């Protein structure tokens, strides 16, 4: 007998919505975060949730453009990913400890674009993609200034962590972070990443 899916257990009443969402996303969404998601949906245009161009294209490719439920699911997925990004990001003080510098130095690097931070509504947070367990991703400080500062945090997170077809190691596409982590830091290797960023900007223009 096959194990019951999260969906079937939810429909039977064996799981509440919060637990079902946690199982599906792997993100521990608390009630405060769920309230923010509900507010986001409540304030959306009554004609349907506003989607990014990327989300709208994904829905179109999947044949779900006429489905309000699919559009709402895309909006909830985005909000869940954003809640997770907020929960896993570092404060300025935490980033200073991670890099062994002062908070003032972290603020300076944010200002000059060599570190990436976003405003959470309460404070500035630095997403984890740019850090290793013991410091910063090597050479990322040479790449970050080429990323527009007005991009949505989830866009930047995806850009840094998803495999790029132009970055290949051992025959497999790797992410910008993975490429830089294994890089010797030569100008040519850095330029390859800059070229990837230029192509992404051109595609989204």
**Residue-wise pLDDT tens digits, 76-130:** 778 888 888 998 999 999 999 999 999 999 999 999 999 999 998 889 999 999 9
Residue 75 CA: distances (Å) to CA of 64, 79, 107, 135, 150: 14, 6, 32, 33, 20
What's the pLDDT score for residue 46? 43
Six-digit token string for 122: 């309460």
Q: What is the 3-state secondary structure (H, E, C) of 115-179?
A: CCCEECCCCEEECHHHECCCCECCCHHHHHHHCCCCCCHHHHHHHHHCCEEEEEECCEEECHHHH
For 194, what's the count of Cα atoms within 13 Å in the CB-facing half-sphere? 13
The DSSP secondary-structure symbol of 51 reads -
Q: Nearest CA to 24 among 71, 81, 67?
A: 81
Q: If pLDDT is split at 50, 70 and 90, which confidence band does 68 have?
A: low
The string of pLDDT tens digits covering residues 140-150 is: 999 999 998 88
Residue 188 scores a pLDDT above 80? yes
Q: Which of 9-13, 32-36, 80-84, 102-106 has the highest mean pLDDT?
A: 102-106
The tokens describing 90, both together, are: 């570092």
The strand pairing partners of 126, in sequence order, are 90
pTM of the model: 0.69
């Amino acid at each position: 007998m096959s194990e019951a899916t999260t969906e079937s257990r939810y429909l039977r009443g064996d799981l509440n919505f919060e637990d079902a969402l946690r199982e599906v996303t792997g993100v521990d969404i608390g009630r405060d975060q769920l309230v923010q998601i509900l507010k986001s949906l409540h304030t959306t245009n009554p004609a349907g949730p506003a989607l990014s161009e990327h989300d709208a294209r994904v829905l179109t490719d999947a044949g779900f453009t006429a489905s309000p439920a699919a559009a709402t699911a895309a909006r909830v997925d985005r909000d869940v990913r954003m809640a997770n990004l907020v929960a896993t990001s570092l404060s300025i003080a935490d980033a200073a400890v991670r890099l062994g510098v002062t908070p003032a130095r972290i603020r300076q690097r944010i200002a000059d674009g060599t570190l990436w931070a976003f405003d959470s509504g309460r404070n500035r947070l630095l997403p984890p993609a740019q850090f290793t367990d013991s410091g910063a991703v090597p050479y990322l400080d040479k790449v970050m200034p080429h990323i527009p500062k007005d991009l949505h945090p989830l866009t930047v997170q995806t850009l840094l962590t998803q495999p790029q077809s132009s970055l290949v190691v051992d025959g497999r596409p790797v992410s910008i972070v993975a490429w830089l982590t294994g890089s010797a830091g030569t100008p040519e290797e850095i330029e390859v990443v800059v070229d990837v960023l230029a192509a992404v900007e051109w595609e989204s223009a």
